[in-house]
Amino acid sequence: MRADNRMWHQTEKVMFMNWILKSAAAIVLLATQAAAGTTLKFATDSGAEGSPSGNALKRWAELIEEGSDGEIDVRVFYQNQLGGQLELFDLFVAGEVDMLLSWPSTSYDKRIGLLYTPYMVTSWEEAFEAYKPGGWANETLNDAFAGLGIRYYGAWPEGFAGVATRGGYALDLESADGMKVRTPPFFPMPQTLQAMGYQTAAIDWSEVFTSIQTGVVDGDAGNVIYWDYEYFRDVLDYYVRTKHVFVTGSLIANAQSMEGLSQEHQDLVRDSAITVMQERFETARADDEKYVRMAVESGMEYFELTDEQLQPMVEKVRAEVWPQLEADLGPEILSKMREHAK
């Protein structure tokens, strides 16, 4: 009986201590929020802490905290900390997350698919002109996101995608015949690679390594070299820079969250996002080249295609895939794409 009493008292003591700790944590959180005045939640759907995108998110948050003289406190959440990609975007649209560095799904508005349009741009200079504030792609995306209660501030570029394979590679349309590659599971990525001569399999990111390792596919065709080097270099031999899509995240804000801020703080959030975008355009190319060197040093063979080698791919994809985009993007956006195509 005494043992039972001791156990009961010990349990009671533990419960009491837990209550004290939880209360203290709540008091600290409330004190922090009170001191800061406003607390915002920032998140990314792609990138752990310390990754390039994770660092960009942290940079955006720091610029806002510093620029507000501590009036705004920003809590940062990295990949999977608040849920998967689609779940996080749902939270964002609902206002549970205020700002996002995202590679958004087209499920809410098909016009967001402009981000994944093949051969929309073919150079870094074209990309910056399209995505900068006032650029035609920036304005188009702003219109699409506005209908969802979202403000679009700009791109966070990674670079041009390529095709990473094992056992063989293709430098032209004919050589791709018979090769099967993984693509992200959304339109028009499979259609783009099919137009380039490949067989495709739409495979979720979590299953890519095993799919290449077991021979289900010959490689991955949806990423800049960073991701293929960082995650799949042990099962890949080649990387061909086909440049079929300019891979970029989006710096976006929940409009209702923004309207709850003073105009000064709204401007600060926007200007900080633009700063992060401009910094990334300045550094992304160098970062991409760094990962090319690292991939080559690890044993991967790298091919940078010339404009002459790319031209047949560009022409075929634009001829076959762009007309399929009209139903989603609309004739006006497609007309803008054709107007700016080089």
What is the model's pLDDT at position 276? 97
Range of the domain at 311: 162-246+288-340
Greater confidence (280 vs 187) lies with 280
Report residue 151 as tokens.
């403000």
pLDDT in tens, 247-266: 999 999 999 999 999 999 99
What is the model's pLDDT at position 197? 98
278 with 295, same domain: the answer is: no
209 with 335, same domain: the answer is: yes
102 with 222, same domain: the answer is: no
Question: Distances in Å between the alpha carbon of 319 and those of 96, 161, 190, 200?
Answer: 42, 20, 15, 19
pLDDT in tens, 323-335: 999 999 999 999 9
Q: Give the span between the Cα atoms of 85 and 107, in whole angstroms.
A: 12
Q: Give the span between the Cα atoms of 36 and 261, in whole angstroms.
A: 13
What is the model's pLDDT at position 287? 92
62 with 190, same domain: the answer is: no
What is the model's pLDDT at position 7? 34
Query: Helix and strand tally (H, E) in the chain?
Result: 13, 11
| For residues 59-67, average pLDDT | 98
Is 28's pLDDT higher than 70?
A: no
- The percent of residues above 90 in pLDDT, for the chain, comes to 79
108: pLDDT confidence band, cut at 50, 70 and 90?
confident
6: pLDDT confidence band, cut at 50, 70 and 90?
very low
In a 3-state reduction of DSSP, which class is residue 96?
A: coil
198 with 152, same domain: the answer is: no
How many CB atoms are located within 10 Å of the residue 141 CB?
Answer: 27
pLDDT in tens, 159-215: 999 999 999 999 999 999 999 999 988 889 999 999 999 999 988 888 999 999 999
Q: Name the CA dihedral angle for 64, 70, 72, 77, rounded to a multiple of 10 degrees.
A: 70
184 with 226, same domain: the answer is: yes
- Give the position of tokens 């409009």: 255
What is the model's pLDDT at position 85? 84
What is the model's pLDDT at position 120? 96
- Whether the CB-CB separation of 106 and 49 falls below 8 Å is answered with no
Average pLDDT of the residues of the chain: 89
Question: Which region among 36-40, 42-46, 256-260, 307-311 has the lowest average model confidence (pLDDT)?
Answer: 36-40
Residue 165, CB-side half-sphere exposure with 13 Å CA sphere: 22
Greater confidence (20 vs 253) lies with 253
Instruction: Identify any residues that bridge with 253 across adjacent strands, giving them in sequence order.
Output: 99, 151
257 with 294, same domain: the answer is: no
119 with 43, same domain: the answer is: yes
> Angle of helix 322-329 relative to helix 307-320, nearest 10 degrees?
50
What is the distance in angstroms between the CA of the first residue and the CA of the last residue of the chain?
A: 86
Give the CATH number for residue 145: 3.40.190.170
- Three-state secondary structure string covering 200-262: EEECCHHHHHHHHHCCCCCEEEEECHHHHHHHHHHHCCEEEECCCCEEEEEEEEEHHHHHCCC
279 with 191, same domain: the answer is: no
Is 83's pLDDT higher than 80?
A: yes
Query: Taking the mean position of all CA atoms in its chain, how far away is CA 62?
Result: 20
Is 15's pLDDT higher than 50?
A: no
147 with 36, same domain: the answer is: yes
Number of domains in the chain: 2
Element (H, E) at 144: helix 136-146
Query: Taking the mean position of all CA atoms in its chain, how far away is CA 102?
Result: 5
Is 74's pLDDT higher than 90?
A: yes
Instruction: Identify any residues that bridge with 38 across adjacent strands, giving them in sequence order.
Output: 72
297 with 153, same domain: the answer is: no
Question: Distances in Å between the alpha carbon of 229 and those of 224, 247, 291, 293, 297?
Answer: 9, 16, 7, 10, 11
- Whether the CB-CB separation of 295 and 233 falls below 8 Å is answered with yes
58 with 25, same domain: the answer is: yes
